[in-house]
């Protein structure tokens, strides 16, 4: 079945450490996105990529980094510079030629301990 | 910045009743989408309505769009317990959504059995 896989589902990080969240899709979608969701809040866009080897900052990119070396993969690194990293992180993808919406992964819950 | 704002923030109804949620947005859009999120999960795309459409149906869902008022509504008819979830509207930032969607804070819908 086609879809988006995020791993791990739960992640604990000590303050001062960088962590990388994985996002893989087998939908052959060109565009991929990372969103952050805080309790009771909507989603805020961190980074997005419309094509391999290219990505753009979203609304809250500070303290995060991404790469897009393969069409299928769009990992997100939460760096020690991110002041409040505890949140639910969602990865999504979309097709440039489709009139449908985004397909989301099941999310990674990151907790700083 | 959050473009869409859902209303109400929370809604509790009896099973079998209809549920109506509203979304207001601020700037011009190409399309508006509705998503559902079950607790702790990723978002699921429900329906997309284009700016030149006024109403769209999908199963028990009915979406309306009024671009003059910059508002949309989502109607779920004959609600079921499984409809309990948060519902988000999302608008394209620019260019149809390839550079990310902007989400509201959502309406939390509870269906009482």
Which among A49, A47, A86, A27 is positioned nearest to B45, based on CA atoms?
Answer: A27
Residues of A in contact with B99 (CB under 8 A): 48, 50, 56
Q: Give Cα separations from B72 to A9, A48, A71 (angstroms).
A: 33, 26, 34
Nearest-Cα residue of chain B relative to residue A46: B100
Write out pLDDT tens, residues A9-41: 999 999 889 999 999 999 999 999 999 999 878
d(CA B108, nearest CA chain A) in Å = 9
Write out pLDDT tens, residues A63-92: 999 999 999 999 999 999 998 999 999 999
List the Cα angle A77/A108/A93 in 5-degree steps.
Answer: 80
Confidence at residue B27, expressed as pLDDT on a 0 to 100 scale = 87
d(CA A95, nearest CA chain B) in Å = 8
Confidence at residue B16, expressed as pLDDT on a 0 to 100 scale = 97
The helix/strand/coil state of B73 is: strand
Give the C-alpha separation, B95 to A37, whole Å: 24
Which among B97, B39, B102 is positioned nearest to A32, based on CA atoms?
Answer: B97
> Do B94 and B6 contact (CB within 8 A), yes or no?
no
- Tally of CB atoms within 10 A around A55: 20
- Tally of CB atoms within 10 A around A101: 22
Which among A46, A37, A42, A23 is positioned nearest to A103, based on CA atoms?
Answer: A23
Confidence at residue B92, expressed as pLDDT on a 0 to 100 scale = 84
Contact across the interface for B100 and A48, Cβ inside 8 Å: yes
Residues of A in contact with B4 (CB under 8 A): 42
Nearest-Cα residue of chain B relative to residue A6: B42
Write out pLDDT tens, residues A45-59: 999 999 999 999 999
> Do A65 and A55 contact (CB within 8 A), yes or no?
no
Contact across the interface for A107 and B104, Cβ inside 8 Å: no
What's the distance, Cα to Cα, between the start and end of chain A in Å?
36
Confidence at residue A20, expressed as pLDDT on a 0 to 100 scale = 97
| Mean predicted confidence (pLDDT) in A94-100 | 72
pLDDT, block means (10 residues), chain B with 113 residues: 76 97 91 94 95 96 96 97 96 72 93 94
Confidence at residue B35, expressed as pLDDT on a 0 to 100 scale = 97
Contact across the interface for B2 and A42, Cβ inside 8 Å: yes
Contact across the interface for B101 and A102, Cβ inside 8 Å: yes
d(CA B8, nearest CA chain A) in Å = 13
Residues of A in contact with B40 (CB under 8 A): 88, 107, 109
Confidence at residue A39, expressed as pLDDT on a 0 to 100 scale = 86
Confidence at residue B82, expressed as pLDDT on a 0 to 100 scale = 96
Question: Residue B1: CA atoms inside 13 Å, Cβ hemisphere, count?
Answer: 6
Contact across the interface for A96 and B103, Cβ inside 8 Å: no
In this model, does residue A98 exceed pLDDT 70?
no
């Amino acid at each position: 079945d086609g879809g988006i896989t995020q791993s791990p589902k739960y992640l604990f990080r000590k303050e001062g450490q960088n962590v990388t969240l994985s996002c893989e899709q087998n939908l052959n979608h060109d565009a991929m996105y990372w969103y952050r969701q805080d309790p009771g809040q909507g989603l805020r866009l961190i980074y997005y990529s419309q094509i391999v080897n290219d990505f753009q900052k979203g609304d809250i990119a500070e303290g995060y980094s991404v790469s897009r070396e393969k069409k299928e993969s769009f990992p997100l690194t939460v760096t020690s510079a991110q002041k409040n990293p505890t949140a639910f992180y969602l990865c999504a993808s979309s097709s440039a030629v489709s009139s449908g919406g985004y397909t989301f992964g099941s999310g990674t819950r990151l907790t700083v301990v | 910045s959050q473009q869409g704002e859902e209303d109400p923030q929370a809604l509790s109804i009896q099973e079998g009743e209809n549920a109506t949620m509203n979304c207001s947005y601020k700037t011009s859009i190409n399309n508006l989408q509705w998503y559902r999120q079950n607790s702790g999960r990723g978002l699921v795309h429900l329906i997309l309505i284009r700016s030149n459409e006024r109403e769209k149906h999908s199963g028990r869902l009915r979406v309306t769009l009024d671009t003059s008022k910059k508002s949309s509504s989502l109607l779920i008819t004959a609600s079921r317990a499984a409809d309990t979830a948060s519902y988000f509207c999302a608008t394209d930032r620019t260019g149809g959504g390839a550079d990310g969607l902007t989400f509201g804070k959502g309406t939390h819908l509870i269906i009482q059995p």
